[in-house]
Copies of this chain bind each other. A is one copy, B any other.
């Protein structure tokens, strides 16, 4: 089967999010719910999800709702994390963050709606497993943010496993369910997924000059990122499928500059 390139998959994601029908009962809130979805993020998680779905022998189209659900959970977390009560960030991807654009009350509700819409999408599958995976990941992510806000994480690795890793793992996990990969065959895929959050986060820290870059120095953090990328590529070799596009995604994660 012909596997689509990361760019082609990203186009699929963008189109799906553009045309996504939200619950009509959101009424005037819809605009604020769409706002954080339009802001040209890298779509790394949903593209990963589609690429796993295709590599596993499914149609990327069948994984689109699951991929979008993961992106909506990500957007929910950004909108709430940016609020004055949490990180108090006024800007996000070069635009005013949601609470600056729409006010705190509407941003809070828009974040809630993004999470509920994510579950609506995850629940469009005949199996509840997609939604289960998403719920677990969301809880991990929230637990990570709690530890970050309160400074109660055991170490940076635990923090990132929850704050970032849980949703990367879920991007792989929901794709497996959406593509109907039997549970007994999911293990090597999941081992691969478990490496990605850390890789993403270390590179993020190198680009932002904090976290791992602070604790290990830029060169030290870069070496950790390379090691994480190498582990991810090794995990891919254990996956019995054409993982060429996934290998390309890993290489892109390791070498990204934005």
A contact residues vs B (CB 8 Å cutoff): 23, 25-29, 76, 80, 83, 85-86, 104-106, 108-109, 111-113, 115-117, 119-120, 123, 125-128, 131-132, 134-136, 138-140, 142-147, 149-150, 152, 162, 166
Contacts and interface: CB of A to CB of B under 8 A. Distances in A.
A9 to B, nearest CB: 25
A25 B113 contact: no
In the A-B complex, list the 4 residue pairs whose CB atoms are closest, starting with the nearest.
Answer: A85-B104, A23-B139, A25-B143, A29-B146
Given A119-B119, A139-B26, A85 B112 contact: no
Contacts of A25: 139-140, 143-144, 162, 166
B139 A113 contact: yes
Contacts of A119: 119, 131, 134-135, 138
| Copies of the protein in its oligomer | 2
Contacts of A83: 85, 108
Contacts of A104: 85
